[in-house]
Amino acid sequence: MDFSEKDISQIQKKGITPEKVQEQIEIFKRGNIAVNIREAATVKNGILAVSEEESTALKKHYESSKEELEILKFVPASGAATRMFKAFYNLLEEFDAKNESLETYIEKKNDSSLELFFSRIKDLPFYNEVLKVIKRAEDHYETLPEDQQQYLFVKYMLQQDGLDLGDQPKGLVPFHRYEDHLATAVEEHLIEAIDYASSRKKVRVHFTVSEEHREKFEKEVKKVRPKLEKETGYQFEVTYSYQDPRTDTVAVSKDNEPFRDENGEIFFRPGGHGALIKNLNDQKADLIFIKNIDNVVTPKHRPLLAQYKKMLAGKLLQLQEKSFEYLKDLESGVREEQLQEMVHFLQQELNAGLNINFQELQKGEKIEALKKHLNRPIRVCGMVKNEGEPGGGPFWVTNKNGEISLQIVESSQIDHENYQQSKIAQEATHFNPVDVVCSFKNFKGEKFDLFKYIDEETSFIANKTKDGKELKALELPGLWNGAMAKWNSIFVEVPVETFNPVKTVADLIKPSHQVK
C-alpha cells in the first residue's frame, strides 16, 4: 500500500521500515497458520521422567560446574497488575451495595474467585495495610453493613487514595506476608535465585520491565538488596531492559487497512512476549534460567524448587557437553558408525527431527546435516502435569519441511475446527509453566543469533478494540513458542509444587501462597 509522507515519518521514528509494516499487513491478509500437531508429548514420549538417583547426579554435575559459568536469571516482568484485579474493577462499577447483597452479585457473576476472595479476605498478604487506610479515611467504617465494608475494601485496595495495587506492575504487588514485612514478587525472585542461579557468590537477575515502571523496580530493589546481601553474603547484580519499540506491530481494521487513532496516526501495539527474544538475545551469560514474574514459591517449597532447577541445568550441561564433543569430532573427521551414534543422540536425547531422506545422503551431506542440528541454541523445559491451569502444552509437531520436533504450543495455535487436531490437543497430559534453563553459545564459545531460530509463521492475529472500535492485532511468535521453535528442546517432568502462579488476586489466598 502507499504510505503518506506523514506515515513514513511516523514509522521511521519508531525505528521500523515501511517495508516491515507492509510485511505485517500481508500477515493479516494471510491469516493465522495453525501448527500441525502430530501427537501430545507425554512421559517416555517426549517428556523425561528423571529418577531420584539420576536427578541427584544431574544436580551434582551442575553444582560442580556452575562456579565456572556466568549464570543469569531472566524474568519477564513488564506486565501490569490490572488483569489480576479485573473482576474487582467490574465489581466497583457494577455492584450496588444499597440495592443488592454481595452474595447475590457473586451468584450472578458465577465467579468462584470472588467467592474465595471474600470468604478468606483476611489471608491476603496486604489485608492489614488496606484496613489501616480505610479506617483513616472512613470514620464510620466499623458501623457499616458487611457488604459495604467489603466494597470499600476493594475500592481502597485498587484506587489511588488507597494502595493503588491495580496500577502497579505485577512484580511490585505484595505476594507474601512475613512476620516483619510484606514481600513482593521481585523480592521473592531475588531470594530464590540464590538457591540455584548463583555463581562465585554473585546473583545476577535481569527483569524486562515497562519503561514507565523502571523507577519503581529500582526503588524496590534498592530497598531489599542491602538486607539480602547482609543476611546471605551474596552480591546482587540486577539489570533491566524494555520491550524495544521496534518490535511493536501495526494494528489493522477488519479490511486489513492500517488502524488509525483519533489523530489519524497509524496505531501500533506491543508485539507480545515474543518481542522479548531481542532482550534475551542481548544477554551474555553461559546459562540462563527463565521464569515468569508471577511464579514464586514460599520458603517451604524453595528447597524442592532449587533441587529441580539444578537438575534441569545439569541435564542441559550434560547434553550440551555431548553436543560440543560431537561437533568437534565432525570438524576433525568421523567414521560412518560415529555418524549413526550422533543420529541416535539427536533423535533420542535431543528430540531433533532429521529429514526422512537423511540416510540416502552422501557422507559429506550427512555431516553438514548433523552439524546444522547439533549446533543450535538449547533449552531444557520443566513440564508439570495438567491440572487445569492455563498455558501452552508440549507437542510433537510436523514442520512444513516434513521434520518432526518437540514444541510448546498454545491453544490459540491449534486448529480446533479440525477434529483430529482438536482430539490430539485434548490428549495433552502436561502443560508449560515457563520453567526454562537455556544456553545459546556454540561449541566455540560464540553466541548464536537467536533471530535465526524463530519460526516467523507462528505469529498470531487476535481481535481487539480501541476507543470502542474493533481492530486486528498481531502478536509475534511467543518467546517460548515460535521464537524458540528451531532450538534443540528437551522436556522434563517437574512436580506441580514448583509452579505457583498468581493469575488473579484470589490466588494469593490459596494455601500455597501462605507463609507459615
Specify the pLDDT at position 337. 87
User: Which helix H or strand E contains 210, and what residues bound it?
Assistant: none
Specify the pLDDT at position 516. 78
- CA within 13 Å, CB half, 371: 13
Q: Collect the ranges in the chain with pLDDT lower than 50.
A: none
Q: How far apart are CA 445 and CA 456, in angstroms?
A: 27
Q: 3-class DSSP state for residue 208?
A: strand
Do 221 and 186 touch, CB atoms closer than 8 A? yes
Do 403 and 354 touch, CB atoms closer than 8 A? yes
Q: How far apart are CA 165 and CA 296, in angstroms?
A: 18
As a whole-number percent, the residues of the chain with pLDDT over 70 amount to: 99
Do 431 and 392 touch, CB atoms closer than 8 A? yes
Specify the pLDDT at position 388. 66
Specify the pLDDT at position 399. 85
Residue with cell 511493536: 248
Q: Is residue 76 part of a domain?
A: no
Look up residue 245 and give its three cell numbers: 519499540
Q: 3-class DSSP state for residue 380?
A: strand
Do 96 and 227 touch, CB atoms closer than 8 A? no
The DSSP secondary-structure symbol of 333 reads -
Q: 3-class DSSP state for residue 386?
A: coil
Q: Is residue 191 part of a domain?
A: no
Q: Is residue 145 part of a domain?
A: yes
Q: Are strands 268-269 and 249-250 parallel, antiparallel or unpaired?
A: antiparallel
CA dist list (Å): 169 to 72, 247, 270, 292:
22, 21, 16, 13
Q: How far apart are CA 135 and CA 123, in angstroms?
A: 19
pTM for the predicted model, two decimal places: 0.94
Q: Is residue 408 part of a domain?
A: no
Q: How far apart are CA 210 and CA 190, in angstroms?
A: 19
Q: Which residues of 109-118 are buried (b: 16+ CB within 10 A; e: fewer)?
A: bebebbbbbb
Predicted confidence (pLDDT) per residue in 40-61, tens digit: 999 999 999 999 999 999 999 9
The alpha carbons of the chain give a radius of gyration, in whole angstroms, of: 25
Do 396 and 38 touch, CB atoms closer than 8 A? yes
Count other C-beta atoms under 10 Å from residue 152's C-beta: 20
The amino acid at residue 363 is K
Strand partners, 385: 430
Q: Is residue 133 part of a domain?
A: yes
Residue with cell 500477515: 27
Specify the pLDDT at position 188. 98
The amino acid at residue 239 is T
Look up residue 170 and give its three cell numbers: 505485577
Predicted confidence (pLDDT) per residue in 131-163, tens digit: 999 999 998 999 999 999 999 999 999 998 999
Specify the pLDDT at position 352. 84
Specify the pLDDT at position 79. 87
Count other C-beta atoms under 10 Å from residue 297's C-beta: 20
Look up residue 465 and give its three cell numbers: 478494540
Let me know the angle formed at the C-alpha of 240 by 234 and 245, rounded to the nearest 5 degrees. 170
Q: How many residues does the chain have?
A: 516
Do 274 and 478 touch, CB atoms closer than 8 A? yes
Specify the pLDDT at position 61. 98
Q: Which residue range is the domain that position 158 belongs to?
A: 82-167
Q: Is residue 209 part of a domain?
A: no
Task: Name which of 128, 138, 222 is nearest 172 in CA terms.
Answer: 222
Number of domains in the chain: 1
Q: Is residue 152 part of a domain?
A: yes
Do 243 and 276 touch, CB atoms closer than 8 A? yes
Q: Is residue 100 part of a domain?
A: yes
Q: How far apart are CA 462 and CA 483, in angstroms?
A: 18
User: Which helix H or strand E contains 205, and what residues bound it?
Assistant: strand 202-208
